[in-house]
Structure 1
């Protein structure tokens, strides 16, 4: 009897282990918005922030102090609940950060408001409820005022409930305190406090000359129109000004940026002494940049410090960074030598030196050490598939690599520059956080993410490279193979594509960046293939701007190099190739189906650009110029005049309230297809914008999968 029980127990354990190893995932477990998504998503529960040279660890609702010299020693500091009980609004604290170096003030925020907590006295010294219907809230650096917007105007309050209107625009076509230029050029907001909190710069955007674009809201009993301002390529664009409000006097002046008004005002930053505002100004053609300085008191133009031009485009995305302890110098990021690098200037506009150079790109600038002698940054050196931390000495120009473990690193540096915290993952590493003592070259792991797929037989993700259509440029790809892959079989292929600027899908991060839908398709018996073509980012200007004035041409050629590679593999069924992508990837999906109509069996295109003349001014004109300047390029890249070439099964998906790629794109393609006698399928997600979120995102991927299963099997 005992032997039988042991045998039965072993049988049950073996069956459970086998079931675990051969688990089939649901989309609810693989797609954001799914009810079990976070059960299989690598997570690191702790967050780390520097307080001078002390490391603070946030875990759940508690904060601990970590000794950098002995990271295993952690001391409890306080719980968020202490703030919650003392805060006026009583909201759940969702984020905390130290307001500035050398301060014990902790800035906290919740859904209801924000404030400041003094660690020494354990008292809330400022608590400000977010005013009803407010947005874009920004606390002043001195923790006295809260700036925010309501509808199209800008306000401040001092926490006593007193509200001061900085602008009073009655025309809803004039918007203050919000991001402008459709968030291009690195713009993330429209409120810019001065370093001491004495003045507030802000964007004022006049959209009255931009055509109102109708978006229909079907949620009401009778559908209503909610118009947006959408400047299309070659048409009238909005005009932007920068105001400066003096908190003490209550007066506002506007920077005298002059004519033409139809230009881009970007990368706004204050000088450390609050006397000047620096603005990177770009012409409408986006090929001539001026770094201009203005007097913050009068708004008068002071000086053009330097200029940059390029025959295709200049794209500033980062403001000048003033050198710590030396406000007479700043660092500027530029692609002027073909790669994004760092340049040291003085405030007269004189170039002192190029700090970094080489066939690699700086991707992030972290900050300076305590003395302002070294600048920390992240770059694509030594491989564009990874990100590593470096420091550069501003005087000697010597560069030192600070992270050596393979992967994609994001870093935070202590006040003195002695310690570095690196959060990173790699293809075989779901996530780790290390603390690095740069003085003693000592690295200690603070925490690690568990492998959510441990013990499960997973689809295998492989990395490779092939030559681009130019015959010389290396392109990187990943391929996902079913867990039970058999090279003697023939497999259908799902190609996932994006292919546009500001993207890189293949990286040495967890599972090479492979997402949940790829896993889902692999377990259904597909090979999944993802390739970064020329035109994508982090490989230099020549790699990216080869697509200028003819978007979709070179990208499709490179993707077809990937297709030819796939067809050369004995286990690929060349008769069952499908492609899917969203936004630019939706454009690429249809583009590939129409340029190479005999190749693909199925395509699913989400939120696709169909004709670049229907896309917005800033992005569209950067990469295509205007339709008036480049009529041949617009004609050759338009998918409307190619609708008759459709031979594959094609599903187009669009959100009916999409403000990015308006649904006119898809509807125009349907109209052209009707005229040409072709038959794409169409599916709409009511109430959604440019992509589907929440539970509907799971439905979206089920719908995409069903289409592949119906027509690519």
Structure 2
């Protein structure tokens, strides 16, 4: 029947029961039908009480950097629109301002290298004259303006350059850069992935010096990946990758004098086998701060280096019985005293130190975690930060005086709040969501948190989702038989019947300091979980020991034994859930990606009497295969801790497999190498175990592109339906 009268159609809709409402599909989820509206690339200005947003016009396929007023939210100006420049025909990928905010560095035609790094065509846009000029002929990395706005430093083919804006000429700072040998001013693979930064150089406050890190990775072992592409013969991608216990790049610190054209190597002292995870100039133009940490990453020095003499001085030392986390929270105040964050009292908190390194005060304290540092208002003496004071699954924004008094909660709604402050700290744009409220953007007073104005919401998405009658995410604290109290959530079918028995599909990540049980809006996986709930499954997630935001002791208990306590907690949680009257304990499965894949693999092996099936995507199967910085932070080296590596690696427990196991990997995963899966496959074969597996050619750790995610999630859904 192709035609139904409108009146009859409306009547049918009116009498349809809730269970007959729309069902989620993978095509909808991965087709972008539930995409959120965002304020893309939101940046607060520093010279005026304004902010910018990178807006996309889908109709014209163009980008615009638009300027708005913080107080009124009114659009003040369009600084640049890509449709007006043929050089930007492929759009604006990102932008940064010069210090005087009169110029922009525009990136276009970007090409991704690894997780954070990319090369692009970069242009300088003069906002006043509305002119666009290219910085370099080729695609370059990480360009930044000098403090006096006259120059731009950038990296090209492992060397540093300085471009003079007025003369439009570039001078080469380093000349020894060479692929897979020497890198100047840009991090190597392992620094980028594990210390989460790419630009390893920094301009000083007067624009006359550049500090940079040089990486000598000559002796670092190489890793190669076949790239199959579309040509007759595949090619090999070869790059330096230090696995646990192997040689790291040798790092050294240098300061380039722009006016003199000379470079000075800084003698940092008697450090051996160390990392330089951060460099940052202080407010004193001739004083550079440098963080140096030992290979075990449990002993960190904050150094101040005199740029003229090259003399370093240890200002602060941080030690930990397990490891010290690296952050970007170091902030220098006008008098060069500084803000530092530390877990030294058992929770992550804010500290104020004099420029000499003497502790002035611990600003925040309590059995909760400071999760983001936003800034200091020198007019009022207030510090602004985000924390878990309202529960470890929530985030709120607070202000507190530099002396640790007069704390005020600025965000009234329970869920996940984050802030972008105006340059005068009079207002902030709050980004809020919860498991029941999609992301909203609102303007608030920084004095008392009162809402001034709504900016953007996703009510249209919420209305659209009402047609699907989606199940809700129920938060709880799950207590195992061993007494562990763990944050958890559960998604039950909308027509849940407590007298029925349901299969349970568990999801987790479980990596050190991570969190999956958090009160925010849906990601793509959440829609998938709700789709599974619509099809009769209960989906559950438990954050076991080793995860974050519940204090250092809870997080660091897994030190030197990754995969022991976390796996124990997932198995025990599954046993607890299996005793619920409405759960079929014989039908419990588990899924995870990356560290979560390592976990789900271990769970079906060590918990073979609990889990009926498991899916592992891009898993580590032996920590000996993973990189030095991450693995040794939590495990020390294999030479020092062989049993910690071997006892908890899935590859050594394949003989225990009883249930159904699906193993998935991308062949071009530069992070967790496909070697992990290939060696696991061979171990399973030699143990005569049956299992399912899939390799995605030329896909990296994210396994995406085109229809890839749709095909992948279809495969996993079918596996769940068949095996669980």
Give TM-score scaled by structure 1 length. Answer: 0.90
Whether the 8 Å contact between 1:518 and 1:528 is mirrored in structure 2 is yes
CA-to-aligned-CA distance 1:21-44 (integer Å, 9 cap, x gap): 72122223213xxxx31x212323
Shift in alpha-carbon separation, 1:441–1:676, aligned structure 2, 3 A: closer
Q: Does 1:250 align with 2:254?
A: no
Are residues 84 and 297 of structure 1, via their aligned partners in 2, closer, same or farther at CA, if it must alter by over 3 Å? farther
Matched, 1:330 2:333: no
1:506 and 1:512 in contact (8 A); partners too: no
Contact 2:214 2:253 in 1 (8 A): yes
1:63 matched residue in structure 2: 66
Distance 2:480 2:266 in 1: 47
Unpaired runs of 5+ in structure 2? 57-63, 110-120
Q: Secondary structure at the match of 2:720?
A: helix
Structure 1 gap ranges (5+): 1-6
Go from structure 1 to structure 2 and tell me whether the alpha carbon gap of 1:45 and 1:369 turns closer, same or farther (over 3 Å shift). Answer: closer
1:500, distance to aligned residue in structure 2 (A): 0.8
Q: Cα offset for 1:238? A: 1.5
The answer to whether the Cα contact below 8 Å between 1:507 and 1:513 also exists between their aligned partners in 2 is: no
1:412-434 deviation line (CA, Å, top 9, x unaligned): 12222221221111122102112
Report SS of the residue matched to 1:272: coil
User: 1:64: how far off?
Assistant: 5.3
Do 1:490 and 1:570's aligned partners in 2 also have CA atoms closer than 8 Å?
A: yes
Contact map agreement 2:67 2:79 (CA 8 A) in 1: no
Q: For residue 403 of structure 2, what is the aligned residue in structure 1?
A: 395
| Alignment partner, residue 34 of structure 2 | 40
1:409 equivalent to 2:406? Answer no
**Do the aligned residues in 2 keep the contact of 1:187 with 1:317 (CA within 8 Å)?**
no
2:116 matched to which residue of 1?
none
1:12 corresponding residue in structure 2 = 9
For 2:172, the equivalent position in structure 1 comes to 165
Conserved in 1, the CA contact under 8 Å of 2:267 and 2:312? no
Matched, 1:146 2:179: no
Residues 220 and 247, structure 2, Cα contact 8 Å, conserved in 1: yes
Does the 8 Å contact 1:370/1:416 carry over to 2?
no
1:571 equivalent among 582, 605, 625: 582
Deviations for 1:332-379, whole angstroms, at most 9, x for unmatched residues? 111111111111111111111111111111111111225271111111
1:600 aligns with 611
Give the aligned partner of residue 487 of structure 1: 498
What is the correspondence of 1:687-702 to structure 2 with a 5 Å cutoff? 687-695=698-706, 696-702=708-714
Inter-CA distance 684–346: structure 2 relative to 1 (3 Å threshold) = same
Which residue of structure 2 lines up, in the alignment, with residue 204 of structure 1? 214
Range with greater deviation from structure 2 (11-20 or 209-218): 11-20
Partner of 1:653: 664
Conserved? CA contact 2:268–2:312, under 8 Å: no
Q: Judging changes above 3 Å, is the alpha-carbon distance between structure 1 residues 215 and 186 closer, same or farther for their aligned structure 2 residues?
A: closer
Query: Residue 430 of structure 1 aligns to a residue in which SS?
Result: coil
Aligned position for 1:379? 387
Deviations 1:457-483 (A, max 9, x none): 113321111125651x53111112223
Contact 1:80–1:93, Cα closer than 8 Å, also in 2? no
Quote the offset at 1:384 in angstroms.
0.9
- Number of equivalenced pairs: 689
Give SS of 2:466's match: coil
Aligned equivalent of 2:371: 363
**Structure 1 residue 53, shift from structure 2 partner:** 6.0
Partner of 1:524: 535
Instruction: Find out whether 1:616 has 2:627 as its counterpart.
Output: yes
- 1:449-506 residue CA offsets vs partner (Å, 9 max, x unmatched): 12141332113321111125651x5311111222333333322221112111131111
**Structure of greater relative contact order (alpha carbons < 8 Å, 6+ residues apart):** 1
Counterpart in the other structure of 1:295: 306
Counterpart in the other structure of 2:282: 271
CA displacement 1:307-326 (0-9 Å, x = unmatched):
12122222222352101x32
Instruction: Identify if the C-alpha distance between structure 1 residues 84 and 591 changes in structure 2 by more than 3 Å, giving closer, same or farther.
Output: same
- Segments ≥4 residues shifted beyond 4 Å: 16-21, 45-49, 86-91, 94-100, 102-109, 511-514
1:149, distance to aligned residue in structure 2 (A): 2.4
Among 697, 700, 703, which residue is 2:715 paired with?
A: 703
Query: How much does 1:106 deviate?
Result: 5.6
User: Could you tell me how far apart the structure 1 residues matched to 2:448 and 2:510 are?
Assistant: 43
Partner of 2:450: 442
Per the alignment, residue 3 of structure 1 pairs with: none
Q: Is residue 243–residue 252 contact of structure 1 (8 Å, CA) maintained in 2?
A: yes
Query: 1:468, 1:533 within 8 Å by CA — same for their partners in 2?
Result: no
The reply on whether 1:192 has 2:202 as its aligned counterpart is yes
Return the alpha-carbon distance in structure 1 between the equivalents of residues 407 and 243 of structure 2: 44
- 2:467 partner SS: coil
Q: CA RMSD in A?
A: 2.7
How far apart are 1:291 and its partner, in Å? 1.1
Alignment partner, residue 437 of structure 2: 429
Change (3 A) 1:396 1:310: closer
Contact 1:463 1:478 in 2 (8 A): yes
Q: 2: CA distance between counterparts of 1:136 and 1:47?
A: 17
**CA distance in 2: counterparts of 1:614 and 1:593, whole angstroms:** 21
Kept in 2: contact 1:412–1:421 (CA 8 A)? yes
Match of 1:113 among 118, 122, 138: 122
Contact 2:588/2:612 (8 A) holds in 1:
yes
- Contact in 2 for aligned 1:186/1:318 (Cα 8 Å): no
Q: How does 1:203-222 map to 2 (within 5 A)?
A: 203-219=213-229, 220-222=231-233
- Of stretches 275-284 and 44-53 in structure 1, the one that deviates more from structure 2 is 44-53
**Counterpart for residue 54 of structure 1:** 49
CA contact (8 A) 1:461 1:514 kept: no
**How many Å apart are 1:258 and its aligned residue?**
3.6
Partner of 2:572: 561
> Is the partner of 1:213 in helix, strand or coil?
strand
1:4 is matched with none
Q: Work out the CA distance in 2 between the residues paired with 1:229 and 1:255.
A: 25
**Quick check: 641-650 or 235-244, which moved more?**
235-244
Residue 314 to residue 56, structure 1, CA distance change in 2 (3 Å): closer
Contact 1:86/1:124 (8 A) holds in 2: no
Q: CA deviation at 1:330?
A: 0.5
For 2:132 and 2:394, the matched residues in 1 are separated by: 42
Change beyond 3 A, Cα 1:311–1:44: closer
Distance of aligned partners of 1:49 and 1:135 in 2 relative to their CA distance in 1, 3 Å threshold: closer
Secondary structure of 1:40's partner? coil
Cα displacement (A) at 1:383: 1.0
Tell me whether 661-670 or 357-366 shows the greater mean CA deviation: 661-670
Does the 8 A contact of 2:410 with 2:448 survive in 1?
no
Q: Find the aligned partners of 2:136 and 2:503 in 1 and give their Cα distance.
A: 53
The alpha carbon displacement at 1:597 in A equals 0.9
- Displacement after TM superposition at 1:512 (Å): 9.2
